[in-house]
Amino acid sequence: MFTLAVSLSRVPNMRFLEMLHNIPDLTWTPGVSQYFLDESIQVTKFQRVNQVSQKTRYVGAAAGSFSWLEEKPECLKVGEQQSCTADWAFSAVGSFSDNRCISGKDSARVEYSEQYALSCDSSSNGCYGSNSMQNPQNFLKRTGVPTKKCVSYKSGLTGKVMACPSGCDNGANMQLVKSLSFEDVCSGEESIMNALTQGTIQSQIDVHSDFMYYVDGVYKHVSGDVVGQLMVSIVGYGEENNTKFWVVRNAWGSAWGEQGYFRIVRGTNECQIERQCFLTVV
């Protein structure tokens, strides 16, 4: 098993981009994101560890469309990992923050600390990425995290992980908040749709080179090799022009994609997004 943080080049391949523009009936818009020019995109390249998890099937008559961006937009926020491959921390802790707000455990959205997970979760690999979503989920359940106000995000500027802190940045005592449990709800498209009514869901995609040119629309891989993996949060679903999609939050900042989000084809396990995914129970 190995993990490797991969920093993808800022220089766009214009011939590849032209080829994407010439593909007929593309459901998404290819282009060069300003964020991609300003920041080196960090993804994790690793030998996938197929950790077995018991599937939980959520059943019911799912609505035709649903999104927490519409239901409770105040409970969601786009993070920005910057120069640290912290997608695993942003997706896990981000969904934890979302779901505490959605459930009413917190009266408003409280931002919890990705930095604490980065620095203290020894089962993951800090800014080198994580090869399993179960590692940060177990960390949230067994250890917990403080608020971001207590331990702020620093690794994005340095690309390095600080030592695990014993107190808040200002020297105050630290209070850790834990999740109750987590469930792998990827036991079919409808299970994910029904589980989404309980909160946002951490998942992972294979990143192909054409994804680097995503601007907007419903992404479907059409060309290029796998360059890494990326952990994300599914926040909703819908359909556009007879194409079903998931609404997914990335951690590349709000200047990327559709204000920090992207849509991806639903129901076909596109880029492995439906292979394994976790609902954090708060």
Mean pLDDT of 39-68: 76
CA distance 215 to 210: 11
What confidence score (pLDDT) does residue 2 get? 35
Label residues 88-118 b or e (16+ Cβ within 10 Å = b): bbbbbbbbbbbbbbbeeebeebebbbbbbbb
Mean pLDDT of 70-84: 97
27, two tokens: 């459901």
Please tell me the CATH code under which domain 3-112+179-281 is placed: 3.90.70.10
pLDDT at 85 over 50: yes
Q: Which residue has 């989920």 as its token pair? A: 137
pLDDT at 4 over 50: no
Q: 47-51, 70-74, 116-120 — which is least confidently predicted?
A: 47-51
Q: 28-32, 75-79, 126-130 — which is least confidently predicted?
A: 126-130
